[in-house]
């Protein structure tokens, strides 16, 4: 292992990690918003929007991000719809992630016991209050592990951004590998960089999940 | 007057070429799914082992798979193994190795979940009858996990939709072999676009059709999984 080579290229990887993390984060935030919208459209049975949401979720969940990116970045400009590489990255990741987040939210909503909703109605809560104080808090608590799993999944998926000629971690490593020939060092740093990014996310996820377990009630199992 | 770009897909054998490219990734996915089910079964059983070494081993394997993007693992094997061990693996072999490594851990975790959902009294009764540990797995737990058998169809009901979902994920992930120089559907698409460079919207239609092809392959599996989940819930 050539530590001098490694030390002299740490800066490149920090730059790459920043791109990975930044666009991963944009993608995650937009996915959460889109996922929530789709989930609400389905939950409240909004006409038209609901069907669009269902169709979109199926489409996004059943195609690879790599193919989606090729279509966005190399296909659409040919019919006059042009986005920058960065925009493609965020749009692509949001397209994919929104569907996964929507499913996570939905599983949370479905897990709320019917008795809870009825009990809420019984003590005189309006439908709006019932949703605000009874259904949503419980649904969100149940959905959190799935949501965090999606966050990690989406950050991992950013590794294909290199096809958009973005200097993310993968592309930094690829450039160094082809120019320097120090394959082992280059790959070692790549693995280390992804670990450094994803370990904290996983630790936070565990902490939040443990905290939310207090939200379990009475005889219900904590999930 | 120029034709629509989509017409190039039906010129000559272009469509067959695309399908051939799709088959390359699908074949890899099928091999991977098969191997992952096989090794995943062993992995799942190993995860339940009381031995510390086995537990740590499984844990580390699972965490590696959870944390590393599949593309990084592909690079490690395709480029790294040549350097480290002098193995000059071709793209498809590397892909099967990596995706099986990943699929085994994920499938193993699902199987562990299914195995632990079999009531403890099954294991205890078997032990009371004098069955050895291996026999317990072979004759009691695994048949119940895999088949809709005698007492506990729930295990299969739980396992099968999840396993099908994992399979669609494996099919989608095999698209990554494009990045290690395997000539699969995207690569074939690029070749076709290169040939028809005079047709300005060729790229749009080719990538659109590839998008649809993937959807048409994966969607039925997703529907099936959803259906099974609903019926068996």
pLDDT tens-digit series, residues A154-199: 999 999 998 998 899 999 999 998 887 788 889 999 999 999 999 9
Question: Which stretches in chain B have pLDDT values below 50?
Answer: 1, 148-152
Contact A75 B76 (CB under 8 A): no
Whole-prediction pTM: 0.86
Residue A64 φ/ψ, nearest 5 degrees: -75, 145
In-domain check, residue A82: yes
Residue A221 has pLDDT above 70, yes or no: no
Identify the domain containing residue A150 by its residue range. 3-214
What pLDDT, on the 0 to 100 scale, is given for residue B153?
53
What pLDDT, on the 0 to 100 scale, is given for residue A222?
40
The CATH number of residue A22's host domain is: 1.10.3720.10
Retrieve residue A2's tokens: 């050539």
In-domain check, residue A223: no
Count each helix (H run) and each strand (E run) in chain A, helices first.
9, 0
In-domain check, residue A39: yes
Average pLDDT, chain A: 89
**What residues does each domain of chain B span?**
5-232
Contacts of B83 in chain A (CB under 8 A): 183-184
In-domain check, residue A221: no
Q: How far apart are alpha carbons B21 and A38 in whole angstroms?
A: 34
In-domain check, residue A123: yes
Task: Please state which CATH class domain B5-232 belongs to.
Answer: mainly alpha
ipTM of the complex: 0.86
pLDDT tens-digit series, residues B171-182: 999 999 999 889
Q: How far apart are alpha carbons B186 and B192 in whole angstroms?
A: 10
In-domain check, residue A219: no
What pLDDT, on the 0 to 100 scale, is given for residue A17?
93
In-domain check, residue A77: yes
Mean pLDDT on A138-150: 90
Q: Does A199 touch chain B (CB under 8 A)?
A: yes
Which of B6, B28, B66, B67 is best to mutate for the A interface (most A CBs within 10 A)? B67
Mean pLDDT on A105-118: 90
Number of domains composing chain A? 1
pLDDT tens-digit series, residues A11-52: 889 999 999 999 999 999 999 999 999 999 999 899 999 999
In-domain check, residue A128: yes
pLDDT tens-digit series, residues B27-81: 999 999 999 999 998 898 898 888 899 999 999 999 899 889 999 999 999 998 8
Angle A71-A76-A79 (CA atoms, 0-180°, nearest 5)? 145
Count each helix (H run) and each strand (E run) in chain B, helices first.
11, 0
Tell me how close the Cα of B175 comes to any Cα of chain A, in angstroms. Answer: 7
């Amino acid at each position: 292992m050539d530590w001098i080579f490694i030390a002299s290229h740490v800066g490149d990887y920090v730059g790459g990690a920043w791109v990975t993390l930044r666009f991963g984060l944009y993608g995650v935030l937009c996915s959460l918003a889109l996922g929530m919208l789709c989930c609400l459209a389905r939950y409240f049975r909004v006409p038209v929007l609901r069907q669009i949401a269902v169709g979109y979720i199926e489409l996004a969940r059943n195609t690879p991000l790599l193919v989606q990116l090729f279509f966005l970045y190399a296909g659409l400009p040919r019919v006059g719809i042009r986005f920058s590489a960065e925009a493609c990255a965020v749009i692509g990741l949001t397209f994919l992630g929104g569907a996964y987040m929507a499913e996570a939210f939905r599983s949370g909503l479905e897990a709320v016991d019917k008795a809870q909703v009825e009990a809420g109605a019984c003590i005189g809560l309006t439908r709006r209050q019932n949703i605000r104080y009874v259904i949503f808090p419980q649904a969100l608590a149940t959905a959190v592990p799935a949501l965090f799993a999606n966050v990690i999944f989406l950050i991992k998926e950013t590794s294909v951004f290199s096809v958009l000629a973005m200097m993310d971690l993968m592309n930094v490593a690829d450039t160094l590998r082809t120019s320097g020939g120090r394959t082992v060092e280059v790959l070692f740093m790549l693995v280390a960089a992804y670990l450094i990014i994803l370990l904290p996310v996983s630790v936070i996820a565990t902490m939040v999940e443990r905290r939310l377990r207090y939200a379990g009630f009475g005889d219900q199992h904590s999930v | 007057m120029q034709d629509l770009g989509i017409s190039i897909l039906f010129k000559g054998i272009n469509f067959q070429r695309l399908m051939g490219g799709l088959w390359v990734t699908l074949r890899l996915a099928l091999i991977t799914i098969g191997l992952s089910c096989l090794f995943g079964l062993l992995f799942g059983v190993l995860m339940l082992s009381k031995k510390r070494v086995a537990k740590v081993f499984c844990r580390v394997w699972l965490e590696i798979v959870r944390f590393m993007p599949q593309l990084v693992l592909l690079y490690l094997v395709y480029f790294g193994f040549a350097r480290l061990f002098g193995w000059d693996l071709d793209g498809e072999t590397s892909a099967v190795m990596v995706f099986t490594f990943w699929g085994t851990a994920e499938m193993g975790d699902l199987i562990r979940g299914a195995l632990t959902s079999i009531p403890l009294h099954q294991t205890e009764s078997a032990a009371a009858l004098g069955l050895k540990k291996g026999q317990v797995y072979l004759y009691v737990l695994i048949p119940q996990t895999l088949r809709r058998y005698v007492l506990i169809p729930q295990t299969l009901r739980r396992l099968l939709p999840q396993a099908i979902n994992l399979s669609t994920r494996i099919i989608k992930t095999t698209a990554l072999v494009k990045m290690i120089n395997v000539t699969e559907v995207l690569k074939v698409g690029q070749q076709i676009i290169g040939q028809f460079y005079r047709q300005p919207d060729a790229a749009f239609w080719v990538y659109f059709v590839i998008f649809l092809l993937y959807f048409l392959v994966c969607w039925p599996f997703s529907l099936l999984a959803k259906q099974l989940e609903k019926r068996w819930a």
